[in-house]
Structure 1
């Protein structure tokens, strides 16, 4: 199972749906990543892939200052799971991996 790639995520929160993009890539044998959305770019931390289960943490300041913990299950090019911020209820997360353009596949 691979988590690498660019993922378009949708998080259903109590204040509405938030769209974000995460990028995951290996660096020196370790999975690294960042999230882009709501006008900010933040690094992902504690990224762990165990079989088809992917977890990570990230801090955001928009729309609120929160420390988020994500736990999702990857099934091919889709993922589903939750995002949790402290004592707040878990928010549903869905996502789809972006297709790699054919030209990029040949360069790799």
Structure 2
């Protein structure tokens, strides 16, 4: 199953569950995209694709600036992964591809 698509996502954060829309646009073994949600839009940086696993970085600016390291595995239309958020630790990320 290709990783391309738009995913409705939930991230379990210290501020509660955050909703977001993740867009993944593959370009060979790399990808670009963005995630948009209540805290604004963040571009995905340094995206890599390894089979059904994607990895990327992004920088959150609200409510404070923090660098995020992300990884997710896509199985069918489901996405499950982790976001490492510095001193906030690691947060669970889940999502479902839009039809």
Q: TM-score under structure 1 normalisation?
A: 0.81
Task: Extract structure 1 runs of 4+ deviating beyond 6 A.
Answer: none
1:76 aligns with 2:43: no
Q: Partner of 2:67 in structure 1?
A: 67
Contact 1:12 1:92 in 2 (8 A): yes
- 1:18-70, Cα deviation, whole Å (9 max, x unpaired): 1111111245x552111111242221101111011111111111233221111
- Greater strand share, structure number: 2
Say whether the 8 Å CA contact 2:44–2:58 is kept in structure 1: yes
CA distance in 2, matches of 1:71, 1:94: 11
Q: Which has the larger radius of gyration?
A: 1
Unaligned runs of 5+ in 2: none
CA distance in 1, matches of 2:23, 2:85: 21
Q: What are the residue-to-residue correspondences of 1:16-95 with 2, within 5 Å?
A: 16-26=16-26, 29=28, 30-95=30-95
Two-structure CA RMSD over aligned residues (Å): 1.6
1:92 Cα deviation after fit: 0.7
The alignment covers a number of residue pairs equal to 98
What SS does structure 1 have at the residue aligned with 2:88?
Answer: coil
Q: How many Å apart are 1:4 and its aligned residue?
A: 0.8
